[in-house]
Structure 1
């Protein structure tokens, strides 16, 4: 990968990209007016992200409630205030994210975070016609990764989202990792992903299955993933 972008330039590039998607955001919301679809989730990473030895991008499923406005600047500001979980209650998702940052040698609250689904439906996963509408925005992830150039991508999407990932990254390979089933943890290999890209369960499920410690140990054992490497 190329060297990481300057923070202001990266955030400006994200804002321009999100503004170019305004019509698509409006289509999703207008198509289902009054359906309680929150979003879009729009990133605005802190400066800390760009200064880490292994800049980390977390990709989740969907938000558990979010802002209900289409204004790009307002949504990016809401992201900044949220602070990748700094102002949120303790939860398995953010607790394991903090442990992942530490395992990679990064500072706490230094990751960037997005979701495959840019909208949530009634503070959860959409379904039926709503899911089809939301999935039309999945390809945004490719440009977000291109702009932020993470050294590590962790997909907490679980196998239930694999079909959408395959559409987003055509030809992606799910490489097995010794000691794990591919449903539990696998490496995602694709030209538009960094050298370290892994898909595992949502942290709630990792914890319930007793796999949290093994997962963090796996991250700790990785050779240090340097930005621009």
Structure 2
């Protein structure tokens, strides 16, 4: 995978969507208190670790809060380049893992188990199912989410560009409606030993294999390895084309 070409494709995708997104979010933010205002969107970028990996996973969280807080108090700025570069500073540099949050611990554990199973390094890209969060904590208002899904529903294009072998949604069952808005028609397939809310395989037409389980905050309290083992097993089957 050519790093420069891939990142250029991502950046051009975002630039093509930004004018309408910017117009709608800027207008919406005028009517909201600071903590409820839309922050900047999560824009993806890759490095050599992802590009050179033989097996690639895209991990989805829920939403990002106060993204690019150094500018405009984290409120949506309408700029692309600073937001795009923030991904490298926070994620590609591995600074995210120094925060010690359970989400990042969950990603780290997942990668560790898959690498042990496959006996090779795994490429990782981080995404959020709600790409435009808010300046305060938690999910943004439904009206902000509607703007995202109308003007910045770039998930399928991101996957086409980045070509992950597996998607893992650490978003929990309460975000299934957002997954459906992002990808359209999907089917949740139960996994033996788990309820659909706990863990399911998601069938997304014409896309790669995917799983959805709880946010790692829950998983760490409930034997996280048990929830990850079916995902690890699927990674093995993908590698041997089964």
CA shift in 2, pair 1:74/1:150, >3 Å: same
Q: TM-score, normalised by structure 1?
A: 0.86
Aligned to 1:104: 114
CA distance in 2: counterparts of 1:146 and 1:60, whole angstroms: 19
Larger helix percent: 2
CA shift in 2, pair 1:201/1:138, >3 Å: farther
Larger strand percent: 2
**Paired residues, number:** 222
Gaps of 5+ in 2: 69-73
Gaps of 5+ in 1: none
CA shift in 2, pair 1:212/1:120, >3 Å: same
- Range with bigger deviation, 123-132 or 174-183: 123-132
Equivalences for 1:121-200 in 2 at 5 Å?
121=134, 122-137=136-151, 139-194=153-208, 196-200=209-213
**What SS class does the counterpart of residue 49 from structure 2 fall into?**
helix
Q: TM-score, normalised by structure 2?
A: 0.82
CA distance in 1: counterparts of 2:188 and 2:164, whole angstroms: 19
> RMSD of the TM alignment (CA)?
2.4
> Residue 137 of structure 1: CA displacement?
4.7
Larger radius of gyration: 2
**What SS class does the counterpart of residue 21 from structure 1 fall into?**
helix
Q: Is the 8 A contact 1:146 1:192 kept in 2?
A: no
Please list the CA deviations of residues 138-161 of structure 1 after superposition, one character each: whole Å capped at 9, or x if unmatched. 621111111111001001121112
Aligned to 1:72: 80
CA shift in 2, pair 1:188/1:97, >3 Å: same
**What SS class does the counterpart of residue 193 from structure 1 fall into?**
coil
CA distance in 1: counterparts of 2:89 and 2:83, whole angstroms: 10
Aligned to 2:57: 56
CA shift in 2, pair 1:160/1:166, >3 Å: same
Aligned to 2:71: none
Please list the CA deviations of residues 186-212 of structure 1 after superposition, one character each: whole Å capped at 9, or x if unmatched. 111123421x3111111112223x041
**What SS class does the counterpart of residue 42 from structure 1 fall into?**
coil
